[in-house]
Amino acid sequence: MGLWDALTGRRQEKSADLDSLFLVPSAAVTLQTSMALQPTGSGSVCYRAAGGEAFRQLQEEVVALLDDDADAPDVTVTTDSYGFSWLTVAGDPTDVAGLCTDLHAVNTTLEAQGFGAGLLCSLVPFVDGAGHRVGLVYLYKQGTFYPFAPRGAQQRDNLLEIQVRDAIAAELPVEKDLGRWLAVWDAPGL
């Protein structure tokens, strides 16, 4: 931040570091061993879909790219009740590294084609033996992660979120501003 930015009250937003997604497999091992949270095998990218033929064609190309291999995971595109699009990849729960590679590919492809402004977050869900779910949410515009643990209709398990935050803090860049820990109620996999 320069002197002029400080005087005018502007601050520079932290840019996305999509390579942080490759840190999730290590955090997944920590969540498995310390909290008995297992990866579900799915993950998703949330974005605001742009109008027009170019974006529709790009979205189809991304899905085709991920579906290209015979061993490829299932890929679906859905729209939540808030109007955001979710591209979900569902595969082998033991291959968190492969899942993160797929999510990284989706994000970088959309970004490279000029649609980075519409990227909101990526999500990797986990579940424990009792069926409690928690997602690691990567905030694209902040370059940080936070946990989101839904409980029932429009309720959160804040204690679980804090426990997950503390467990992964040494491995992932965690969002420090709790006001940015937004609820992603309609997220696939949660």
pLDDT, mean of residues 7-24: 72
**pLDDT band at residue 1 under the 50/70/90 scheme:** low
**Residue pLDDT, tens place only, 151-162:** 988 899 999 999
Q: How confident is the model at residue 178 (pLDDT cuts 50, 70, 90)?
A: very high
pLDDT at 79 over 90: no
pLDDT at res. 7: 60
Q: Please give the average per-residue pLDDT across 115-141, as a whole number.
A: 94
Q: pLDDT confidence of 9, banded at 50, 70, 90? A: low
Residues 168 and 151: beta-carbon distance below 8 Å: no
pLDDT > 70 fraction of the chain, expressed in percent and rounded? 89
For residue 139, is pLDDT > 90? yes
Q: Please state, rounded to an integer, the average pLDDT across all residues of the chain.
A: 87
**pLDDT above 90 as % of the chain:** 57
Are residues 187 and 44 in contact, defined by beta-carbon separation less than 8 angstroms? yes
What is the domain partition of the chain in residue ranges?
A: 13-173
Residue found by looking up tokens 């998703």 in the block? 44
Q: Is the pLDDT of residue 124 over 90?
A: yes
CB 44 within 8 A of CB 104: no
pLDDT band, very low/low/confident/very high, at 48 (cuts 50, 70, 90) = confident
